[in-house]
Amino acid sequence: MSEAVLGDLTGWQLLLLSFAAVWAGSINAVVGSGTLVTFPTLVALGVPPVSATMSNAVGLVAGGISGTWGYRRELRGQGRRVALLVPASVVGAVAGSLLLLSLPASAFETVVPGLVVLAIVLVVLQPRLQARTRRRMQRLDAALPPGEARRPDRRGQVLLLIVTLLVGVYGGYFTAAQGILLVGAHGALLVEPIQRLNALKNLLTLVVNVVAATMYVVIGFDRIVWAAVLVIAVGSLLGGLLGSYLGRRLPAVVLRATIVVLGVVALVALLAG
């Protein structure tokens, strides 16, 4: 479908896309699978899959900004971690964007469901994994001479970088459920409350989406449906504010359960697609 055809949509179709954008922005702030709402909506309206992916990624940047802003308090004290992981997300997003523009759309179809399942399992096991990591750190601290600080866990940092890079590649290629992957993987490696992990997830997915959107605009400008971008941008901006407001107030158990439930929904949608 061309941009001109999209401009001929009826009022209820525009309303449907707007509602999908608000919903996508909201669940992106809380979980990170909003693409599974807006992408199929665009395809159902006649937008070709690759153009839908590009247009959706550009439009959802606005929701990423508002969702990250809403979680700004939970980002405090994570400056060093952000400085370490943002470059990995940037490199991964560039690689993933180039893959989207060069590989067939079906390339990741067999891999993505397995990644989502892994992320859901990690989110479920997060408290146990974090408790194990915390006990290991306590044993290391107890073995140190009095007054000597424990050295940074280089192995853990390298693993964190690799995981973030790989999720960035995935996010640059197909943005759906990258937030679930990040929360699951980071939760297994970092001893942090889930709300702080969610704040970090929002920032890193925003970075990936901005890089991917920039790549799409530069390389595939004529394949982007700009009318759809505008509708999705406005809707997701409002949704990001709404999602961050509600998400920050959810107890950790409820937030974890929400991520798992929506992760399963995302998995079903991916398999059904």
What's the pLDDT tens digit per position in 163-181? 999 989 888 877 667 887 8
Q: What is the signed CA dihedral for 114, 262, 124, 131, rounded to 10 degrees?
A: 120
Q: Would you place residue 191 in the very low, low, confident or very high pLDDT band (cuts 50, 70, 90)?
A: confident
- The string of pLDDT tens digits covering residues 41-68 is 887 787 777 788 788 889 999 999 999 9
What's the average model confidence in pLDDT over 34-47? Answer: 79
Largest Cα separation within the chain, whole Å, is 73
Q: Which of 52, 72, 62 is nearest to 26 (CA)?
A: 62
Q: CA 4 to CA 2: how far, in whole Å? A: 5
Residue 261 contacts residue 51 (beta carbons within 8 Å): no
Q: Which of 168-177 are b and which e, b meaning 16 or more Cβ less than 10 Å from the residue's Cβ? A: bbbbbbbbbb
Find all residues with CB under 8 Å of 84, minimum gap 6, and list them.
Answer: 157, 160, 161
Instruction: Please give the residue range of the domain that contains residue 55.
Output: 3-272
pLDDT for position 165: 94
3-state secondary structure of 106: coil
User: How large a percentage of the chain has pLDDT more than 90?
Assistant: 18
Tokens, residue 204:
């890193």
pLDDT for position 85: 93
| CA 35 centroid distance within chain | 9
Q: Would you place residue 3 in the very low, low, confident or very high pLDDT band (cuts 50, 70, 90)?
A: very low
Domain count for the chain, please give it.
Answer: 1
Question: Does residue 2 have a pLDDT over 50?
Answer: no
pLDDT for position 7: 54
Q: CA 65 to CA 63: how far, in whole Å? A: 5
How many C-beta atoms surround the C-beta of residue 215 within 10 A?
20
Q: Which residue has the higher pLDDT, 52 or 82?
A: 82
Question: Does residue 1 have a pLDDT over 60?
Answer: no
pLDDT for position 149: 44
Q: What average pLDDT does the chain have?
A: 78
Q: Which of 49, 56, 33 is nearest to 227 (CA)?
A: 56
- Burial bucket for residue 265 (CB in 10 Å: 0-12, 13-18, 19+): middle
Considering only 6-20, 128-142, 196-210, which range has the smallest mean pLDDT? 128-142
Q: Would you place residue 264 in the very low, low, confident or very high pLDDT band (cuts 50, 70, 90)?
A: confident
Q: CA 270 to CA 36: how far, in whole Å? A: 8
pLDDT for position 115: 64
Find all residues with CB under 8 Å of 53, minimum gap 6, and list them.
Answer: 39, 100, 174, 175
